[in-house]
Structure 1
Amino acid sequence: MRNVSRSVAARRGRPPSSMPLPGIAALRRGVTFLLRRAFTLDVRALAVFRVALGLAMIVDSLQILPWLYKLIGDDSVSPRWLSVFSHSYFSLLNSSGDAWFVTLIFALYYLTALAIIVGFHANTALLAAFVLYSSVQHANYYIDSGATVLLKMYLLWAAFLPVSARWSLDAALRPRPPQAQAEVFSISSAVLVAQIAMLYLMSFALKTGADWHEGSALEKVIRYQMAMIEPWVTGLLAYPALLKFLTYFALGLELVAPLLILLGGWPRLLGMLLLIGMHVGFDLFLALGAFPTVAIAGLLVLIPTQVWNLRKRRFAEGLVLFCDSSPRSERSVRLVRSWLCLDGLELQPFSRDPRAAALHAASGSWVLRSAQDQRLTGGDVLIELVRHSPFKPLGYVLGLRPLRSLLKWTFARAARHRAGVDAALPAYHPPFWRLPYLSEITVLVLAIGALGSNLLTARNDFSRVPGYVSALGLMQDWRMFAPLVGKQSGWLVAEGHTYSGRAVEPYQYLVHGRTEISYERPRKPNAFLGGERWRKYVEAAAYDSNLSRFFAGYLCHYWARRQSDAFQSIKLFYFEEFEGSPAQMRVLYEGTCPSYNF
């Protein structure tokens, strides 16, 4: 009967009830097309993103490393009891604040950064880096910045994407390399693209003040945010029309560029390049720490497939590398091909070329057949491969006589101990925690809370932020210079009086190792304060009486641990400029050294 009804419906020109209407089918295809355009990522761009993310981790850590034990740990400006009292975020450093444990956390952090760069167990390394980085960030909440939040989110989302599908140790060490996959379209890719777009869209939406709509925001940043600008930038105040144009351009770009990104293809490339240019400009104008570096690293994941397909000739095309058919030897060859990005290199067994087989029997090394039909062995193979890779200049450096001799000696020793060299290659183990459907559901749940927190924090509605978002520190707030540009800025001066009658500057002693007191306006306030992280801490202490009292006690403690002449009293002054007026001095603390249990 069902078949009869279908045929009758067809004769009457009506589609069967179980078949989608043509309009619905077209709508479905259109929506699918738009979603794929918006949220598809190229695996080669993911590989570039992975390397850039690992480098950004190192760059960001340099903001803390010179003062590591002064900013993090029990003997720092943010000991465990103060951090736990201030917030309830998860941190491994809540279990111990000893110097050895802080050192261990940072050593593991750098190891994960290296693993991410080379693509060794990259997804597991990214997840571990997220935990380690969150632990460091949450150990001192007062030095938190936009760079720390953004880098943490990129580490989390990247852990669920195939970032090591190309140009990685993982890709080379797989027993059976996966089939070539050019693009990724998944919940994880959609979340990462949405994270990038929301960063700029929320920043645009929050800039509701008159400073932005009148075009005076950038001028006011230069005039009033003296702790955040580079000294040379004040010369731009002589060009108000230029500053007004740049203000409107930056505001419009934060709206238009995310829309271009969601269009995919060439529009995405245009949006990406415009945003990279904006961040380069920010880095030249403002002292923003690692934020421009982290933001640019994230934008590189948007390089569309069309750009990669512009390259007509593959690297090392026309070269043939001969090797034996053992699994370990094949892994070694794939490792070199992957690291040097030699997608055009052809691999063949020695049995296909008698001359290559004879050379291998004599030297024990790989044999490379060049485009001119020459046979190369030993270190010359690596030199020739590097010359045909994206790192061509390095190949000519390796070809210099001392380095060439060293390579030949190294390859000769490796040929004599080939079994040991092959055995030293690590085995590949797929991430046990990346179950196909479970990982995507996990990303979706985390993304709903993390990206949704943008809307809640924009309305200062922190009570409705989900508990897991708060515990993991996934809350986001992108209101830089919004809704208005802050019109006050300042710097800290500390004055310690010892029992012997000396007057010294304990804050400068803490940060720079000098003791001279100066009340003059510093020429480079950000450098005077010790960089972005110290500036964040000082600004927090300037408006928190309990923290400023604690900080005074820490300065006394730090001085007493290193000098025999202890402080009898200490003063903390904050010099604040408001709307360009002469600096006003506020006393943050004055009296004897507060006693705290460090």
Structure 2
Amino acid sequence: MKEGTPAGADSPHKSYSLRPEIPAEMGDGSRLPAALAERVGIDARALAAFRIYVGLLLCADLLLRARNLRAFYTDAGVLPRDIHAELYPTLARVSLHTLSGALWWQALLFVVAFGFALLLTVGYRTRVSAVASWLLLASLQARNDYVLNGGDTVLLVVLFVALFLPLGRRWSLDARASDGADATATPAVGFGTAALLSQVVLIYATNAVFKFRSDAWMAGEAVPQVFQVERFVVFLGPYISEFTALLVAINWLWVAMLAASPLLLLARGWLRATLVALYMGAHLAMRLTMDLGLFSEAMVAGLLVFLPPVVWDRVESAVEPLINGVGDWLDARPGIDAAVQPSRAVLPSGLRRGAARALPVATALVLVVGLLWQVAAVGVVATPEDAPVDPAEHSWKLFAPNPPASDGWYVTTAETAAGEEVDVYPHADTGFDPPDDIADTYPNARWRKYLTGLQHGSDRRIAAFADYLCRTGAETHGERLTEVEIVFVHESAHSDERTRQDLGTYRCRSA
């Protein structure tokens, strides 16, 4: 492909300029000084990579969640809709997933969400697909807050901010349908790009503030302490946990990286690319040693948009044969090409013009709210007493200021109608003696999040889990259960000291 060849001109498929330039006019960023625009601009190919990555991540997340579809999202699970409405009335009202507690309804929404995630990945009706994906993700998260961790919040936030950006400008079916009119490598610049980039930096910077306030982190003891908690440590983690000096060094290195995160915004060119590679490498190391849910994967999504044009020039050169091959394949099948190309705009032209005029205001508002939220979270700005949500309770702490110092597992026993005592813990054979590996008693990160929080949960929440154990236990043992006892065994991460926390004995409803 010749650099700068216009779409459709000397080529049977569409081709685009490989070298981006910051234009004089870029909508809401048109008056930004060139140096600032270069730092808050996002390469169109970075947005495309973000779109593809997030689409695939949404697909993977749905497939992983589907393993526990009944347990987490139906009335036969751990959080029936009546209890959900009682504990979280606002979330229950805004979630599509609460319209029915049947398994078929949840499965249908999962399939629809999976379809929109695929459309987002290939860039078909990108804006519509992105909005639908975000709405369904928000609805799913609202259905059961007990299984969420920081990675879920990161994914929801970065996808929301990205809704205001041209995600389909490159490497998409929308770009092909536009005949190259909007398929340029020109960076997007404006309040929206500043909001997305700043959100990623704020996640790191806010986390740094909480770690600076932590005695354990400032003493170099936090990472060694966390690696003694078996329920988090996976893959290479058990081997790394034996090297205390290495873990202390990692403790200080991570704190330094968090504190240095504003450099991601200030740097440019290969320096920025090097910094992004370091942060991505850190998250890969987390994934290989600890099970933190989607946190590492979601942060990589946010880091992709920091990669500068010098990186994407080389990436595009490498994938150019693939792009051209796909274009040739579609050109040879005009029926498929016509079927996937939008025939008309979704919104009327007048409404589109109004939305375009409102976009700078909306993105500026997103930028300001994001900044104020994190400033309030670290206590620089006081939160009003009547505020419905406390930012400090929904901020980026990640084992700060107090990393976990104990581990534990569940022991759940039930009594049958015949008077026999049976084990009804659904994930492992557990007793009061320590299991070989505590992590094995939690089948995945979502169950671990749910069960770890259960020991501090309300009586109503624990009773709902007891009902779930009664139902699944009766199915497993093939006989009616009369009552179930739930116990959590705490074990110190630094010794063999164990304590028993009785969460109650509950009568089975079917008894």
CA contact (8 A) 2:79 2:465 kept: no
Distance in 1, matches of 2:485 and 2:439, equals: 21
Letter in 2 for 1:56: L
* Deviations 1:440-489 (CA, angstroms, capped at 9, x unpaired): 3223334433443223334497656966x89xx99841101111212122
Report whether the alignment pairs 1:520 with 2:394: no
Report whether the alignment pairs 1:35 with 2:36: yes
Distance in 2, matches of 1:176 and 1:447, equals: 30
1:40-439 correspondence to structure 2 within 5 Å: 40-87=41-88, 88-89=90-91, 90-174=94-178, 177-178=181-182, 180-207=184-211, 208-223=213-228, 225-230=229-234, 233-310=237-314, 340-342=322-324, 420=335, 423-430=338-345, 432=347, 435-439=355-359
Report whether the alignment pairs 1:575 with 2:489: yes
Distance in 2, matches of 1:108 and 1:474, equals: 34
Report whether the alignment pairs 1:445 with 2:359: no
Letter in 2 for 1:499: A
Percent identical among aligned pairs is: 26
Distance in 2, matches of 1:384 and 1:135, equals: 36
**Could you tell me which of 455, 466, 477 is aligned with 2:375?**
455
Distance in 2, matches of 1:44 and 1:112, equals: 21
Report whether the alignment pairs 1:507 with 2:489: no
Distance in 1, matches of 2:337 and 2:314, equals: 36
Change (3 A) 1:587 1:560: same
Query: Deviation of residue 553 (structure 1)?
Result: 2.0
CA contact (8 A) 1:73 1:79 kept: yes
- Secondary structure at the aligned position of 1:153 is classed as helix
Letter in 2 for 1:186: G
**Could you tell me which of 464, 481, 486 is aligned with 2:404?**
486
* Deviations 1:252-272 (CA, angstroms, capped at 9, x unpaired): 011113323332322221221
- Secondary structure at the aligned position of 2:401 is classed as coil
Letter in 1 for 2:454: A
CA contact (8 A) 1:453 1:476 kept: no
Distance in 2, matches of 1:156 and 1:197, equals: 16
Considering only CA atoms, is the larger Rg found in Structure 1 or Structure 2? Answer: 1
* Number of equivalences: 470
Residue in 2 aligned with 1:557? 471
Distance in 1, matches of 2:50 and 2:189, equals: 16
Kindly report the root-mean-square deviation, in angstroms, between the aligned alpha carbons of the 2 structures.
3.2
- Secondary structure at the aligned position of 1:124 is classed as helix
Residue in 2 aligned with 1:544? 457
CA contact (8 A) 2:413 2:486 kept: yes
CA contact (8 A) 1:261 1:271 kept: no
- More RCO (CA 8 Å, sep 6+): 2
Letter in 1 for 2:398: M
Distance in 1, matches of 2:317 and 2:482, equals: 74
CA contact (8 A) 2:192 2:367 kept: no
Change (3 A) 1:315 1:132: closer
Range that drifts further, 193-202 or 439-448 = 439-448
CA contact (8 A) 2:236 2:288 kept: no
Q: Scaled by the length of structure 1, what TM-score is found?
A: 0.72
Distance in 2, matches of 1:179 and 1:567, equals: 63
- Secondary structure at the aligned position of 1:492 is classed as strand
Query: Deviation of residue 148 (structure 1)?
Result: 0.9
5+ residue gaps, structure 1, are 1-28, 318-339, 343-381, 387-406
Change (3 A) 1:41 1:585: same
Query: Deviation of residue 120 (structure 1)?
Result: 0.5
Distance in 2, matches of 1:285 and 1:292, equals: 11
- Secondary structure at the aligned position of 2:78 is classed as coil
**Could you tell me which of 396, 415, 430 is aligned with 1:497?**
415
Residue in 1 aligned with 2:19? none
- Secondary structure at the aligned position of 1:507 is classed as coil
Distance in 2, matches of 1:266 and 1:466, equals: 43
CA contact (8 A) 1:575 1:583 kept: yes
Range that drifts further, 421-430 or 269-278 = 421-430
CA contact (8 A) 1:493 1:574 kept: yes
Distance in 1, matches of 2:170 and 2:145, equals: 36
Query: Deviation of residue 36 (structure 1)?
Result: 1.3
* Deviations 1:3-60 (CA, angstroms, capped at 9, x unpaired): xxxxxxxxxxxxxxxxxxxxxxxxxx99824421321100011111111111111232
5+ residue gaps, structure 2, are 1-29
Change (3 A) 1:215 1:74: same
**Could you tell me which of 491, 501, 504 is aligned with 1:586?**
501
Query: Deviation of residue 102 (structure 1)?
Result: 1.0
* Deviations 1:132-179 (CA, angstroms, capped at 9, x unpaired): 011111101111211110111122112111111111000011256236
Distance in 2, matches of 1:281 and 1:31, equals: 37
CA contact (8 A) 2:225 2:405 kept: yes
CA contact (8 A) 1:573 1:589 kept: yes
Report whether the alignment pairs 1:534 with 2:447: yes
CA contact (8 A) 1:231 1:523 kept: no
Letter in 1 for 2:416: T
Query: Deviation of residue 232 (structure 1)?
Result: 5.0
Change (3 A) 1:591 1:114: closer
- Secondary structure at the aligned position of 1:270 is classed as helix
Letter in 2 for 1:35: L
Residue in 1 aligned with 2:17? none
Change (3 A) 1:493 1:65: same
Change (3 A) 1:282 1:271: same
* Deviations 1:210-265 (CA, angstroms, capped at 9, x unpaired): 21111111111112x22111275344344322221111101001111332333232
